[in-house]
Amino acid sequence: MKRQKQLKEELIEDYLFHIRVEKGLSANSCSNYQRDLAKYYLYLQDRTKTLLESHSSDIMDFMLSEKTKGRSAKSLARYGAAIKGFYGYLLQEDKIKDDPTAYLSMPKIEQKLPHVVGESSLHKALSRGKTDTLLRQRDQTMIEVLYGSGLRVSELVSLGVNDLSLDMGYIRCRGKGNKERIVPAGQQALNLLQNYISVSRPQFLLRNQKPSVTDRNTLFLNAAGKKLTRQGVWQILKKWGKQNGIAENIYPHIFRHSFATHLLDHGADLRSVQEMLGHADISTTQIYTHVSRKRILEVFRKAHPRAKKGGD
């Protein structure tokens, strides 16, 4: 029983870290998801099951039992979102082989538009970025790769030196389900990668007295010459955002959101953006079209003389 509780805490804590650091969810949302998942864990415990043994029938029965208790549609939708997101994450991390929520129709929760950094403020911040120290060179390179290729942070920290093709201008990465894809890299990112590999990275690796095989191949290393963690990247980005005067809450996924939105703003087709992001379903990519349309509407209302009230 003690081992089951420890495993439950580890699995849920890992997921909460994922949505807080990588997805940028608020502390309040994370607390709600934690309570919801803890409630589902207790429900499974009464059935002498663990989180890793859950089936679709268990989830359906849980949702039905909560509904009969008089839970609101909003609460049920949040339960569904928490459970679906949790098992999607476990599948991504190879903790489970099959997603018990895959064929379930969950109550829909209002989908919020992804946050993006304004194109002009992001370009200004990137152009101000300094590369006068080893760490700054690494950080600037890392951010250019995140924004220039739309990678997830888990994909970024898993990149190896041999995943780069600087002469061809692309990066090979492994996304959800260990699926491999090829993504293009911008010229700024390619230039910085070349310098980082030649100058900074060898110096970091020298600081590691016993580098593992993984360390020797990992592209982005920490100051001790070891593989950067997702939390380490998050802290670097937070610091970089403050130093460069970006008002938005900076987290790894906001660069991915900005990458997709800015591509669509400049006329990229949805299918190409889907391929670059590695989305299995194009409906996942379509959320960015709503962001793009919103921006177009804002431009129209500001610029068109007949768009304003009382316009002549």
Residues belonging to the active site: 152, 176, 253, 256, 279, 288
Biggest distance spanned by C-alpha atoms of the chain = 74
Beta bridge partner(s), residue 184: 170
Tell me whether residue 254 is exposed, middle or buried, using C-beta atoms within 10 angstroms of its C-beta: 0 to 12, 13 to 18, 19 or more: buried
Please give the helix or strand (H or E) that residue 86 lies within, else none. helix 73-92
3-state secondary structure of 41: helix
Alpha-carbon torsion 239, 224, 197, 203, what sign?
Answer: positive
3-state secondary structure of 1: coil
Instruction: For residue 119, give the DSSP letter.
Output: H
Listing DSSP states for 275-294 in one string gives: HHHT-SSHHHHTHHHHHHHH
296 contacts 289 by C-beta, under 8 angstroms:
no
